[in-house]
Structure 1
Amino acid sequence: MGLAAAATALGLTTALSGCGALGGDGGDVTLTLVAADYDLTGGDSTKKYWDGVVTAFEAENPGVKVQVRIESWNDVDREVAELVKAGKAPDLAQIGAYADYAAADQLYAADQLLSIPVQANFLAPLVDAGEYEHTQYGMPFVASTRLLFYNEELFDKAGIDAPPTTWDELAAAAEKLKKKGVAYPFALPLGPEEAQAETMMWLLSGGGGYLDGLGHYKVDSEANVRTFTWLRDNLVAKGLTGPVAPAKLDRKAAFAAFARGEVGMLNGHPSLMQEAAKKGVKVGKTALPSTDGRDRAAMGVADWIMGFKQNGHRKEIGAFLDFVFSDENVLKFAGDNDLLPATVTASEAMRSDPAHADLREFLEALPDSQLPPVGKTSWAQVSGTVKQDIGKAVAPDGRPAEVLGRIARQATAAESAE
């Protein structure tokens, strides 16, 4: 479907959803939505976005009201879990995970809510990641991918002519940066904040991943052990990862150091560009280097929106979601937050818009990306184990095979208990 045709279909869907069939015989329906706060500066941009969406939706659908509650990312998943446990589930939640609720039969499937054009418009890897037992329950609200970021000025000072495409080139560039006194030639955040994501990026670029070809955990595969052995021997042991041990370096601290101009290279996401640029850092971006320079799948990330069954508002939830996923709304939110649209038509529109030229490499990487196994109810437990333990694999006396083996055994046990 071309951009214009798909947009027309989406527009028709939105219009049809407001044709008087909503609200039921008992009068108006009020939907509740709990949503995450994306404003990095402590402002109210997320609230303003949802206020605008709700106002426009209610004008087209007079039988439905929507109440939105914004919670910080530190609290939103817990807040929704507590509401569900107390028997007070919201109608909609825009949070980080859906699988536990899908496994407990608490969610509507996507095809019970969305019109066909809207459901068909999601990018394929995001649809796959939104499935629990081959049915889509998680609808991707917004996405991002990861690229290698490098400080162009530090590269120039170190005499590095081009960004690395292989691991050997990355290590050589880090050596040059170190000789020029760069504090973090390559920042490797394997601390507990977000280590599961940093780990996945390296596993993919080494030809491995968390899962085998059948979709089961294989954390200690030969490829994965080789990857972490290389990191230990070629970056950490040679003092190329900076003054803080990777096991103690959180992503937030690494990103802050990059924005201060103290980092030569790191694996970054779109939101970091804006922060670094504000502080005068000239950011270069390229695909994550691989062992041999061949293209590997980038890691994709998505946040999810879902509809809960408890209150029985299926038609109203579906109409609201059809409206939320219009190109106009998807592009507005993604553009305001330096993130990527989760839909095909909005991605095409953003890619062709010169105002978003700095996101083009991320957009190009997203359709072929791989996401963490968020459709497994065991993933939260496995992710937590990775966060706590993976940094030990690259310590000077670390034993990658043992650390990965221990995580693998726990992952397999968690998967068996699903």
Structure 2
Amino acid sequence: MRSLLTRRDLLAAGTGLAAAAALPALSGCASLAAADSDPDTIVVHTQLGTTAPGSPTYLSALDRFRKENPGLKVKNLINGDDLGQVYETSRLARKEADVVMVNLYDKTLAWTDVDATVDVMPYLDDWGLRDRVLPAALSAWTDGKGRLRAFPYFATNWPVAFNRALLDKAGVDEIPTTGDDLIAAARKLRAKGIAPVTVGGNDWTGQKLLAQIIQTFLSQDEARHVYSTGDFGSRGAREGIEYFTTLRDAGVFADKAQGLTSDSMNTQYNTQAAAIQSAMSSALAKVPEDVARHTEVGGWPLADGGAHEHPTIIRAFTLIGFWISPNGVRKIEHVEKFLRFMYRPDTVSRFIKESGRDMALRTDTVSTGFPLVAAAQRLGSDVSEVLLPDVYVPPAATQPLITATSTSFTKGTSAAKVRAALESAYRSA
């Protein structure tokens, strides 16, 4: 019999919840009333429904699902970045949602282990949906014990966007493909009053770009070891950190990058205040048409002696999945209808066409209305792929790593101090 989630389980998993204090504070919220007693109501806890990319398509899909299943209701609970903590708090009260739509990152890495959600592999097979999932996505969502944490859904391509018009204005004739090219381009851009590379050095976007640059000198197996253990002392990791600090101190990144966020990064690029950004597909989908016309996508420039043949990008399949909770198991027939509907080719195609989302599922649909997303999908042999570290970083190290990232983007911080900051983030893990 599956054991019940305990307060100790959540705290041991690194959630940091002060559950006794949190429950009274949230007692008036819908999140703690999530477990609807109506057996014909599915409760879905999601980050879609407001301004998140794909929200209009998702809400429209729910309307169609309700019309096709008139006796079945869907109740939507919406949270942003705090979804993980809110869900865990509701689970402690045994009032969690039936289905959770969230990425594999930070707190969610521990959910299957502490019985906050269930292994969905048996359902994937019983419902005949395995062939709908891309093999790479299935692998990414499967843990070391062979359990499928959630039904894969959204994926992402994470290339580098280059504003060709701004580069031309600064006299940069070619898209930079090496570190030396990038430094030279940054100098020319700055001379014209244009920020070179904008990045959210104070949040997750900076963390991801820093990890990508460090991997310049790491194979994927070496990168898995580094981000699983926090050991940045290998030759490749040290060379990657030194490459990062060389670029940073040469003025490659926007001024005061250590204080920027993903929002300020996107604003700088979309208003043409900056010429380059590392942009996941959801950000590419929001680039205004007049900027997108002058944007080319490619990889992060290489350094001499790097471990990769081509400039690098990140491709990941863990952006959003459908997790099933213990409460959801009690309504599993209804959950099956919902998942089958969301996996239907016509539903999947609408997310691609209407929202520019990359999917972790098999599909022939292309984001024709989102040219930069489509261009990123076409990137092939001209780029090399590096790891998204999210599934390897221990949950307790996630937020400390973001703090270390801000330190790393602070100009003048030595490579040794960057390494120390990154390694110290793991000490609490």
TM-score if structure 2 supplies the norm length? 0.77
Contact 1:107/1:307 (8 A) holds in 2: yes
Contact 1:206/1:290 (8 A) holds in 2: no
Contact 2:228/2:394 (8 A) holds in 1: no
Unaligned runs of 5+ in 2: 1-37
- 1:28–1:79 Cα change, 3 Å: closer
Provide the aligned length of Structure 1 versus Structure 2: 377
Contact 2:213/2:244 (8 A) holds in 1: no
Match 1:69 to one of 58, 70, 76: 76
Please, which moves more after superposition, 294-303 or 184-193?
294-303
Q: Distance in 2 between matches of 1:50 and 1:78?
A: 26
- 1:191–1:374 Cα change, 3 Å: closer
Deviation of 1:259 after TM superposition, in Å, equals: 0.8
Matched, 1:126 2:137: yes
Deviation of 1:366 after TM superposition, in Å, equals: 9.6
Please, which moves more after superposition, 65-74 or 85-94?
65-74
Contact 1:129/1:371 (8 A) holds in 2: no
Match 1:339 to one of 357, 360, 369: 357
RMSD: 3.2
Q: Deviations over 1:343-392 (max 9, x none)?
A: 12x2xx124x644553233324599855545446x633222111001232
User: Who is 1:326 aligned against?
Assistant: 344
Q: Deviations over 1:375-411 (max 9, x none)?
A: 46x6332221110012323433312234324433542
Matched, 1:94 2:109: no
Match 1:390 to one of 397, 405, 417: 405
- What secondary structure, in the 3-state scheme, does the structure 2 residue paired with 1:114 have? helix
Q: Distance in 1 between matches of 2:68 and 2:147?
A: 28
User: Who is 1:13 aligned against?
Assistant: none
Contact 1:150/1:285 (8 A) holds in 2: yes
Q: Deviations over 1:270-299 (max 9, x none)?
A: 233343324645222112222257234524
Matched, 1:192 2:218: no
User: Who is 2:250 aligned against?
Assistant: 238
Matches within 5 A, 1:289-328: 289-292=301-304, 294-295=309-310, 296=312, 298-300=314-316, 302-311=319-328, 312-328=330-346
Q: Distance in 2 between matches of 1:145 and 1:119?
A: 22
Unaligned runs of 5+ in 1: 1-26
Deviation of 1:150 after TM superposition, in Å, equals: 1.1
Contact 2:61/2:347 (8 A) holds in 1: no
Contact 1:92/1:305 (8 A) holds in 2: yes
TM-score if structure 1 supplies the norm length? 0.79
Please, which moves more after superposition, 127-136 or 270-279?
270-279
- What secondary structure, in the 3-state scheme, does the structure 2 residue paired with 1:136 have? coil
Matches within 5 A, 1:12-411: 29-37=40-48, 39-40=50-51, 45=56, 48-58=59-69, 65-97=72-104, 98-115=108-125, 117-133=128-144, 134-182=146-194, 184-207=195-218, 210-212=223-225, 216-233=229-246, 235-244=247-256, 246-278=257-289, 280=291, 282-292=294-304, 294-295=309-310, 296=312, 298-300=314-316, 302-311=319-328, 312-344=330-362, 346=363, 349-351=364-366, 354-355=368-369, 357-364=371-378, 372-375=388-391, 379-408=394-423, 410-411=425-426
- What secondary structure, in the 3-state scheme, does the structure 1 residue paired with 2:359 have? coil
